[in-house]
Structure 1
Amino acid sequence: MGNLTFKLFHTRMCNQNIKKRLHSQQDAGFSLIEVLTVVVMIGVLSAIATPSWFAFVNRQKVNKANDAVLAALQEAQREAKNKKLSYTVSFQKNPTTQNVEVAVYNTNAGSPTWKPLGVDVGVSSDKLLLGANLSGENTANSTTNSPVSYPPSSTPTKITFDYMGALTLPTPNFGTVPTGATEPPGLKIVVAVPSSTNSTLASSVKRCVIVRTLLGSMIAAKGSPNCD
């Protein structure tokens, strides 16, 4: 009798264990509603994060390109001082590759050697806009704006330093003092990301380098009104 009772108890426990295993297998995985909920949440998060990510990438790209502009100007000024010669920085758009290009060279040594702006820091300059408020070498235009556009490749934008690292004479023109300001805008080189609606116009993501004094002091700036 005892053995029969034990066998019945053992059989019942085994059946319960089998039911539990089968039940757990039936409950494994996710329901359709759970999967759809996760997909919707991922879509919402992507919609929120994607614009911020692209904005971050654009800012980084413009920052690097602007650093390259500043480095080129500083290199020209340094070479002018070290070699006691006049050195020029020129910017242009290559009509074939669409790259923004820069050249640092001895002003009196013949044709400059051009290279894409920011190539050393991994920036694709064909996706950027370059502008300046220059109407001539070391001469700001008569307006307070700094139009962000490509200068013609035949007449590249130039800033030249003399053998002491100052801007070359005759006296540079730093532009007209804007209303409400105390000093002229200076010589500006502007880098910007194109507008999403018009690739020839600048977006609000812009940076600039401004040469402010006859001695060639310069600063890096961003946004409006500094880079307008």
Structure 2
Amino acid sequence: MRNIPSLKLLDYFQLHSQKTKQKQQYLANRYYNDGSNRKDAGFSLIELTVVLLMVGILAAIAAPGWVGFVNRQQVNKVNDAVLAALQNAQREAKNKKLSYSVSFQKNSTTQNVEVAIYRTDIGISTWKPLGTDVGANSDKLLLGGNLSGENIANTTTNSPVSYPLNASAKITFDYMGALTLPNNFGTVTAGTEPPGLKIVVAVPSSANSTSASSVKRCIIVKTLLGSMLTAKDDKCS
């Protein structure tokens, strides 16, 4: 009689052990909802190839749009820097009651667009890369304009804007912040106003790196008082 509880306890542990083994076997052999065995889970070589192919196609579609977006951002930043340089020279001329000039160039070594703001009577002392303070990289951009001399717009009607910008071209403000004399805002055609003095920043053409694409930004000095405006694309031609 005293062995009965011990036998029942032994039976209980044996039954529990058997159920545990059955449960473990079930879990090891059970199927996922999609019908594939747990041991066979993963991707086949064909599936990986298809995924990589799709990623490549999407990247090829998106890349030109992304490059275009980056180019437009760079052109906008450099154009803003051109405007800031002109406004700075005009402000210095007014504050110091002296003539100040702004010159631009494309550095032949670094290929960066550079600017110099200086007292006209002293001349250029240093050139500064244009747009670096706002994170712009101008070495892949073209610098152009319609200036043929100091405050003189090119009077050629068929192609007034040229690349690169004439090395002797500069814009000069007198002690009141107005344009110094002599000056010329370009040829006036019937029913239009003078084109003004243009400094143009452009993305190079994919076919020819020395010619501008349709993506352009520019600053135009429109009046004798030195009024400026920004323009884009066909307005900068």
TM-score, structure 2 as length reference: 0.83
- Structure 2: 5+ residue stretches without partners: 1-13
SS in 2 for 1:196: coil
Structure whose alpha-carbon radius of gyration is higher: 2
Question: In the aligned structure 2, how far is the partner of 1:70 from the partner of 1:30?
Answer: 56
Q: Which residue of 2 aligns with 1:113?
A: 126
| Contact 2:93–2:173, Cα closer than 8 Å, also in 1 | yes
Tell me which residue corresponds to 2:232: 222
Which amino acid in 2 is paired with 1:29?
Answer: G
Question: Match for 1:26: what amino acid?
Answer: K
Structure 1 Cα separation of the partners of residues 24 and 107 of structure 2: 82
Please state how far the C-alpha of 1:7 moved relative to its aligned partner.
9.0
The answer (yes or no) to whether the contact 2:117–2:124 under 8 Å persists in 1 is no
- C-alpha deviation, 1:205, in angstroms: 1.4
Of the three residues 118, 122, 139, the one matched with 2:135 is 122
CA shift, 1:14, in A, is 5.3
In the alignment, what sits opposite 1:87? 100
Question: RMSD of aligned C-alpha atoms?
Answer: 2.7
Percent sequence identity is 65
- Unmatched 5+ residue regions in structure 1? none
Aligned residue number for residue 83 of structure 2? 70
8 Å Cα contact 1:188/1:209 also seen in 2: yes
CA gap of 1:71–1:6, structure 2 versus 1, over 3 A, is closer
- For the residue of structure 2 that corresponds to 1:215, the secondary structure is coil
The whole-number CA distance in structure 1 between the counterparts of 2:126 and 2:180 is 21
Distance 1:37 1:165, change over 3 A: same
- Cα deviation for residue 129 of structure 1 reads 0.8
Q: Return the alpha-carbon distance in structure 2 between the equivalents of residues 21 and 104 of structure 1.
A: 76
Q: Structure 2 CA distance, aligned partners of 1:116 and 1:67?
A: 13
Q: d(CA) in 2 for partners of 1:64 and 1:11?
A: 71
Q: Which residue of 1 aligns with 2:196?
A: 186
Question: Of the candidates 135, 147, 152, which is equivalent to residue 139 of structure 1?
Answer: 152
Work out whether residues 148 and 168 of structure 2, in 8 Å CA contact, stay in contact via their aligned partners in 1: no
Q: Which has the higher contact order (CA 8 A, sep 6+)?
A: 1
Q: Give the corresponding residue for 2:64.
A: 51
Structure 2: how far apart are the matches of 1:94 and 1:10? 80
Aligned match of 1:210: 220
TM-score by length of 1: 0.86
Distance in 1 separating the partners of 2:111 and 2:220 = 24
Aligned to 2:165: 151
